Structure 1
Amino acid sequence: MGFVDTDDMNFTSGKEKFNSTKAYSSSKLAQVMFNSVLQKRLPPEAGTSVLCVSPGTVHTNVARDLPKLVQAAYNLIPLFLFSAQEGSRSALYAATAPEIPEYCKALKADEWPTCAYISHDCRPTRAAIEAHNTRAANEVWEKTLDMIGLPLDAVEKMIQGEEVINVTLSIELQSCST
């Protein structure tokens, strides 16, 4: 996994040259962190399991920003990579295996720092150690909600049946009507 720069989650600051492999790695870590906070915020009575899955190494265009020689080698090794269909196995397992809800409940009861994580071989496993950083995970949560214009207590409000207003969209609509 990578490192999440919460000040530049979209890689737009220009601090570094964009690299698709680094961006992918950072986005996967951010996904685990965000979902881990979501899992903690959902009460048990919500009956919702939160987990992340790894498709494994799937043949995609992720090598597009790598040096040409590396791209050529990458294109020669499809026999060692999963197809998109093969990569979907872990997601299908996570969505349909009857033992997954109990596994998620057990992690939550043990106050495990991350949400459930299913590996490419359809087995529960530990997320990367970087994902266990609860301070960084909360920063990712807060920054993500800010980026999409939702209040920090959006989940709690939705569970209570309250309406949640997208602050950014609301401001844009108000300025368009004046």
Structure 2
Amino acid sequence: MGATLESPITKLSKEEKAAKKAAKAEKLAKKEAKIAAKLAAKDVAAEPPEPVDEEVEQADVEENEVEEAADDGFKVHKYVPPPEPEDETLQCRDCGGDFIFTVGEQEFFKSKGFDNKKTRCAEAIARRNVLSLARKVARAVAAAWPALPSSLVFVPFECTTFVTV
């Protein structure tokens, strides 16, 4: 019981292979000729016409600038380095007084990756730190007796019921 399978794929003869190869080469040659013709046309178009006199040349330059400005294509921009940092006079957001944001502070902020400028003067910062510390100190601290009576323990909350710590 031998089964025979008929395949739709047939082998090409040597002549057919050679004809296929020649057709491929002809197609490639046409493509290369087309590219060469395009390049030749670009070279001809790239040559600037010779100006008749200086006034005509100036008018051509102005027209080219207008055409370039109207072009919506991609443009290559020149790299412009950022300006050198200078001392800046800023206004404090708390007290409203003026303070100087020095070059050193600016470089420090940049090295840390901070995007915004300083907003408070040194006195306002110190005042905020003192207020913050005062809030922390004013927390309720209560005495509690530990489960193992060795010494008194202080906890940061008021005990409302008798609970051993």
TM (norm. structure 2) is 0.19
Larger radius of gyration between Structure 1 and Structure 2: 2
Which structure shows the higher helix fraction? 1
